[in-house]
A and B are shown apart, each in its own frame.
Chain A
Amino acid sequence: MNLNPTPDFSAGLQCPIPISDYPNVLLAHGGGGRLTQMLIERMFLPSFANPALEMLHDGAVLEVNGTRLAFSTDSFVVSPLFFPGGDIGSLAVHGTVNDLAMCGARPLSLATGFILEEGLPMEDLWRVVRSMQQAARAVGVPIVTGDTKVVDRGKGDGVFINTTGIGIIPEGIFVSPRRARAGDLVLINGAIAGHGIAIMSVREGLEFETELASDSAPLHDLVARVLDVAGEQVHVLRDPTRGGLASSLNEIAAQAGVGIRLEEARIPIGDEVRGACEILGLDPLYVANEGKCLVIVAREAAEAALSALRAHPLGAEAAIIGEVVSEHPGQVFLRSRIGGLRVVDMLSGEQLPRIC
């Protein structure tokens, strides 16, 4: 797949996504799958073209007077606002802290924008703000500036939050999706699919007997430990949020021009989450995480990285789940539990629960 298409503006500046295909934005355009990728590749990238953007990292890396800064932004529109294991406030802090961490950066400070819906209970806003305050304090990253807007009732979903952050990338750290190379090993810090299933379990109409909690957590400290022991041997860091493990690994495979091979039996997943996925007909590889980190590391440093992950409270269940290969560049394969091989493709839209 060509990630840097040359825009063809010969017919004047017109919408590069044919109107006949998608006259309206669909929810799937924000699902993290192929339609999201299409928006980015065809509309955003050619319009805003610049070298920092074209790295397609979790954040931009900017050099200022010899210091490398990571700069990232994320918007949070989760419904419901409060869910088992977190809420939109802590999520908004963790999300951007994690995006900075995935650039190999130490987070420095955050900015935030609130879009509030008229009629939102003040009590709810207070809960969200307090949660942000606690999360920011816990990660040691101050919220240094912000903005507030209120929209008419019915034109928002209670609260939307944007957070933007900057961080400093230490010397000797060079993390980029393009650095994945054949022979590297793929690590993850714990069980997948927790966030997506927790959110789904509290949305209208789904009742599980067990409470499933989101894995929302700040990963900067965990990442710092791994970088301490493996340094520039750490080639790629990525938090597989929406679109899940499968989408993140597909992006990395495409950007680095390598293949990735996973071992299904080695991918950690909790029994409750796996059970919920079985019931709903969802593939956990595509379900969102908010406290997970993929670490692609040179083979010789993998054991050290794994030990560092496992020594951290957020990495107790860390595992080596696969490897980077030179075959099938741009594609992710998975060896199933029964020993068959299949492609793990990018989803075109959001995963939809099956009929039966």
Chain B
Amino acid sequence: MRFVDEYRNEAGAQKFVQAIRRVATRPWTIMEICGGQTHTLIKSGIDELLPPEITLVHGPGCPVCVTPLELIDRAIAIARRPEVIFTSFGDMLRVPGSGTDLLSVKAQGGDVRMVYSPLDAVKLAQKFPERQVVFFAVGFETTAPGNAMAVWQARQLGLTNFSILCSHVLVPPAMEAILGSSGNRVQGFLAAGHVCTVMGYWEYEPIAEKYRVPIVVTGFEPLDLLQGIYMTLQALEEGRWGVENQYSRSVKREGNVSAQQLVQKVFQVCDRQWRGIGPIPQSGYGLRPEFAAFDAALRFNVAGLTAQESPLCIAGAILQGLKKPHECSAFGTLCTPEHPLGAPMVSSEGACAAYYQYARARGKVSG
């Protein structure tokens, strides 16, 4: 299959693995930002092919994982209302709030529907004018243009029965939070190729400069990741820092400017709570005041709902790369994909779920 097989062949992978072995002379810790990358690493067994000098830590780039608990509770409160059709991407539905999850709300009679695009939710609002259609707008910069377009279209169409529950987060402030924390051990980053497809990578340049770290914009196929790791290692070994672009077939320095302009029209940067990490200033998108009519939290008056995390869950340390999933006392015992205590065990992109599903039998877990 074109555009896939080129990046998944054994000969190419071996070439990079050999090159990585040659270039790595001492231990290095590299973080891949995006949960999609974590999955490729583990699903294709890259973590097993790398030499022991290299430690990969899994970053906070899974939108499902970092969406705060109280937002899930707000979603659940809205989804329970009889007039509401609550729409979401598939993997948000199984994330536990403090009491239940959206799939269980559906089983109890709530009208919860999985959609593949926020624009499908707008279509639902047109089709069911007597119902309130709410879309759960989570994600990083990658999903922001689509969500902005949904709100934009709803306004163009004059829809009064469409709104979004918004919890957008941004990558650069999270990277700064990790680099600025006292326990940080990350020495280089694989930046998320899809985020950079939208945003470009110019905003990573000051971070690379300030913290003197190499940042390599990296794609999602096995060979992309191996090449991204190789490029990061080369920079580390040579004492270089700065931003490099491995994913040049998709990413330009300036990104997708028209998508960025649409995002700017609908959203503004705001402070945001991250599940497991806490508040990070200026780390998210919220609706601009002129689009407040499309804010589900205001429309259904759930902005006041707050919630407490499970004290056993170390999601924060995992999302910051301070710990690995199997270092958690609840991993594979009290916390499993059937009974997740924290979000990284829920999403197929979550680091804990990835470890549980693909790495369990390799002696990393007893469960």
A interface, CB within 8 angstroms of B: 21, 23-28, 34-35, 38, 204-206, 265, 271, 274-275, 278, 280-281, 283, 328, 331, 333, 335-343, 345, 348-349, 351-356
Q: A203 → chain B, closest Cβ, in Å?
A: 10
Contact B115 A205 (CB under 8 A): yes
* Chain A residues in 8 Å Cβ range of B114: 352-353
Is residue B349 within 8 Å, beta carbon to beta carbon, of the partner chain? yes
Which residues in window 1-52 of B have CB below 8 A to A? 1, 4-5, 8-10, 12-14, 36, 42-49
Residue with the greatest number of chain B CB neighbours at <10 A, chosen from A26, A35, A331, A342: A342
Q: A303 → chain B, closest Cβ, in Å?
A: 25
Q: A317 → chain B, closest Cβ, in Å?
A: 15
Q: B345 → chain A, closest Cβ, in Å?
A: 10
Contact B103 A26 (CB under 8 A): yes
- Interface bin, chain B: 35 or more
A355: which of B44, B45, B139, B358 is its contact (CB, 8 Å)? B139
Contact B104 A24 (CB under 8 A): yes
Contact B338 A352 (CB under 8 A): no
* Chain B residues in 8 Å Cβ range of A333: 361
Q: B228 → chain A, closest Cβ, in Å?
A: 14
| Contact (A26, B349) CB under 8 Å given A21-B339, A338-B13, A354-B36 | no
Nearest 4 A-B pairs (CB), nearest first? A340-B45, A352-B90, A338-B13, A348-B337
Residue with the greatest number of chain B CB neighbours at <10 A, chosen from A35, A204, A340, A343: A340
* Chain A residues in 8 Å Cβ range of B108: 24
Instruction: Give 13 new A-B contacts, CB below 8 A, not counting A274-B4, A281-B348, A337-B9.
Output: A27-B107, A38-B338, A205-B115, A280-B116, A328-B361, A336-B45, A339-B14, A342-B359, A343-B357, A343-B361, A349-B94, A353-B116, A355-B349
Is residue B249 within 8 Å, beta carbon to beta carbon, of the partner chain? no
Which residues in window 176-221 of B have CB below 8 A to A? 194
Contact B91 A353 (CB under 8 A): yes
Is residue B93 within 8 Å, beta carbon to beta carbon, of the partner chain? yes
Interface string of B99-127 (1 = CB under 8 A from A): 00001101110000011110010010000
Closest to B143 in A: A356
**Majority secondary structure, A binding face:** loop
Contact A339 B348 (CB under 8 A): no
Which residues in window 216-252 of B have CB below 8 A to A? 222-223, 226
| Contact (A274, B1) CB under 8 Å given A340-B49, A349-B94 | yes
Expressed in whole angstroms, the Cα–Cα distance for A148 and B9 within the complex equals 54
Is residue B89 within 8 Å, beta carbon to beta carbon, of the partner chain? yes
Contact B4 A28 (CB under 8 A): no
Expressed in whole angstroms, the Cα–Cα distance for A47 and B35 within the complex equals 42
B64: which of A35, A345, A355 is its contact (CB, 8 Å)? A355
Expressed in whole angstroms, the Cα–Cα distance for A34 and B104 within the complex equals 17
Is residue B92 within 8 Å, beta carbon to beta carbon, of the partner chain? yes
* Chain B residues in 8 Å Cβ range of A38: 338
Contact A340 B1 (CB under 8 A): no
Contact B348 A345 (CB under 8 A): no
Is residue B138 within 8 Å, beta carbon to beta carbon, of the partner chain? yes
Contact B360 A343 (CB under 8 A): yes
A356: which of B9, B194, B358, B360 is its contact (CB, 8 Å)? B194
B91: which of A275, A278, A283, A352 is its contact (CB, 8 Å)? A352
Closest to B221 in A: A338
Contact B359 A343 (CB under 8 A): yes
Contact A348 B336 (CB under 8 A): yes
Expressed in whole angstroms, the Cα–Cα distance for A271 and B5 within the complex equals 11
Contact A352 B93 (CB under 8 A): yes
Closest to A341 in B: B45
* Chain A residues in 8 Å Cβ range of B43: 283, 336, 342
Q: B266 → chain A, closest Cβ, in Å?
A: 18
Q: Can you list 18 A-B pairs with a CB-CB distance of less than 8 A? A: A24-B104, A26-B104, A28-B103, A204-B120, A205-B120, A274-B4, A283-B43, A337-B5, A337-B9, A338-B223, A339-B14, A340-B46, A340-B47, A343-B358, A343-B361, A353-B114, A355-B89, A356-B142
Expressed in whole angstroms, the Cα–Cα distance for A24 and B226 within the complex equals 44
* Chain A residues in 8 Å Cβ range of B140: 356
Expressed in whole angstroms, the Cα–Cα distance for A108 and B94 within the complex equals 43
Expressed in whole angstroms, the Cα–Cα distance for A44 and B46 within the complex equals 41
* Chain B residues in 8 Å Cβ range of A265: 10
Is residue B321 within 8 Å, beta carbon to beta carbon, of the partner chain? no
